[in-house]
């Protein structure tokens, strides 16, 4: 694909994805994301021809003007749209497919534990919302959505939506995933243990009280009746050998 058709499709991506884009003229002159992508294409050209320092200088100059840092080694497909862009970081071994949308504050980075390929591979038509961090050398499948401020540390299957920290799949093929975690009502094992202990203490107290009453009855009358939980009267045996009396 030629340079001009690449430039045209980059501008198309802005017009298709941003309802606020008034005209192509606006897009060309005022969209930092577009400028960063074009600077990256030049930097990547030098990087591929082993002019690494020149490539880094272009990339850093672009970062200075746009607030978007794309390592010259990153491979970017057609029609990437970086909206707003400030704070976006894209690592060296990252690969991005076609028609991807990235919002401000997104990091496509490494965990710091891997060598070689250490950044994610993003499929086609993926949306990565503002502030999301995708860390590690795994794949994010086609048509995936990553929610704002999520931290994604594992492979994301195609057609799924991932949110939260760490990122969890909440939707797959348009359907909600049933066993999603209810963040507002997390299970608390400590509270559960205390509840169980309180229940046992109450039962023991009731039993002690019952024994106390029985002993009192025996002490004062040599036997008697007590009421059971079901409301029946039962005869209490006389521990000192006196015959129990009838009610």
Residues lying near ligand COA in the complex (CB under 6 A): 84, 103, 127, 129-130, 145, 147-150, 161, 163-164, 170-171, 176
Beta strand spans in the chain (E): 69-70, 75-76, 81-82, 89-90, 95-96, 101-102, 107-109, 121-122, 127-128, 133-135, 139-140, 145-146, 151-152, 160-163, 168-172, 175-176, 224-227, 233-236
- Nearer to ligand COA by Cβ, of 72 and 85: the residue is 85
Q: How far is CA 234 from CA 214, 225, 243, 246, in A?
A: 11, 5, 15, 10
- Nearer to ligand COA by Cβ, of 74 and 101: the residue is 101
Q: Find the shortest distance in angstroms from Cβ 146 to ligand COA.
A: 6
Q: Find the shortest distance in angstroms from Cβ 88 to ligand COA.
A: 12
CB atoms within 10 A of CB 153: 14
CB atoms within 10 A of CB 79: 22
Q: Find the shortest distance in angstroms from Cβ 161 to ligand COA.
A: 3
- Nearer to ligand COA by Cβ, of 74 and 169: the residue is 169
Query: DSSP letters of 158-214?
Result: TTEEEETTTTEEEEETTEE-TT---GGG---HHHHHHHHHHHHHHHHHHHHHHHHHH
Q: Find the shortest distance in angstroms from Cβ 185 to ligand COA.
A: 13
User: Which residues pair with residue 153 across a beta bridge?
Assistant: none
Roughly what angle, to the nearest 10 degrees, separates helices 32-48 and 52-66?
170
- Nearer to ligand COA by Cβ, of 170 and 217: the residue is 170
- Nearer to ligand COA by Cβ, of 13 and 58: the residue is 13
Residues with Cβ < 8 Å from 24, sequence gap 6 or more? Answer: 11, 15
Question: Do residues 146 and 162 make contact, with C-beta atoms less than 8 angstroms apart?
Answer: yes
- Nearer to ligand COA by Cβ, of 106 and 236: the residue is 106
Q: Find the shortest distance in angstroms from Cβ 104 to ligand COA.
A: 6
User: Which residues pair with residue 171 across a beta bridge?
Assistant: 161, 176
Q: Find the shortest distance in angstroms from Cβ 11 to ligand COA.
A: 20
Q: Find the shortest distance in angstroms from Cβ 83 to ligand COA.
A: 6
- Nearer to ligand COA by Cβ, of 107 and 150: the residue is 150
């Amino acid at each position: 694909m030629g340079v001009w058709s690449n430039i045209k499709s980059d501008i198309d991506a802005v017009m298709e994805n941003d309802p606020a884009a008034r005209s192509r003229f606006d897009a060309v002159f005022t969209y930092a994301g577009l400028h960063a992508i074009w600077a990256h294409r030049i930097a990547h050209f030098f990087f591929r021809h082993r002019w690494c320092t020149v490539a880094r200088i272009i990339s850093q100059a672009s970062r200075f003007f746009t607030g978007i840092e794309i390592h010259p080694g990153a491979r970017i497909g057609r029609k990437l749209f970086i909206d707003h862009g400030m704070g976006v970081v894209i690592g060296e071994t990252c690969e991005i497919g076609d028609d991807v949308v990235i919002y401000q504050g997104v990091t496509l980075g490494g965990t710091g534990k891997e060598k070689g390929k250490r950044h994610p591979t993003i499929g086609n038509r993926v949306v990565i919302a503002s502030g999301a961090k995708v860390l590690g050398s795994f794949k994010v499948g086609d048509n995936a959505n990553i929610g704002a401020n999520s931290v994604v540390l594992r492979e994301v299957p195609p057609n799924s939506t991932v949110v939260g920290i760490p990122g969890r799949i909440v939707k797959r093929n348009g359907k909600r995933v049933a066993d999603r975690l209810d963040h507002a009502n997390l299970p608390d094992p400590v509270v559960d243990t205390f509840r169980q202990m309180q229940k046992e203490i109450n039962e023991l107290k009731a039993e002690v009280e019952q024994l106390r009453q029985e002993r009192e009855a025996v002490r004062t009358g040599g036997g008697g009746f007590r009421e059971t939980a079901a409301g029946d009267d039962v005869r209490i045996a006389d521990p000192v050998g006196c015959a129990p009396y009838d009610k």
